[in-house]
Homo-oligomer: A and B are copies of this chain.
Amino acid sequence: MDKTKRTRLEAAGWRVGDASDFLELTAEETAFVELKLALADYLRDIRVQHGWTQTHVARVLGSSQSRVAKMEAADASVSVDLLVKSLLALGASRKQVGQVIARAA
């Protein structure tokens, strides 16, 4: 498994199979985490492309810098709801959100 992805999965709160090189996730769990990571990456892309800081985005969303950081990290404490709402609030369209989710890993 790709090391950076594994690290991101761990960071997102998913257990990594100790000695084994495989995550012990069902297919659904894997798909769900990848979906979240895709949204998180997209959120960061939008922010960086606009030259915004996490603090600025937090102000726009009515949230806090720390939560924005967790969103971009696809932290386990962040829901897909929050990611989707945030993306829409930052100007992404429903169609764009869907495309980001549908795009292959």
- Chain A residues near B (Cβ < 8 Å): 27-28, 31-32, 34-35, 79-81, 84-85, 88-89, 93-105
Contacts and interface: CB of A to CB of B under 8 A. Distances in A.
Contacts of A93: 31
Q: How many copies does the complex hold?
A: 2
Q: Dominant SS at the A interface?
A: helix
Contact of A28 (B35, B85, B96, B105): B85
A53 B32 CA distance: 24
16 contacts: A31-B88, A31-B93, A32-B85, A32-B88, A34-B94, A35-B84, A35-B98, A80-B80, A94-B105, A97-B101, A98-B98, A98-B99, A99-B102, A101-B101, A101-B102, A102-B102
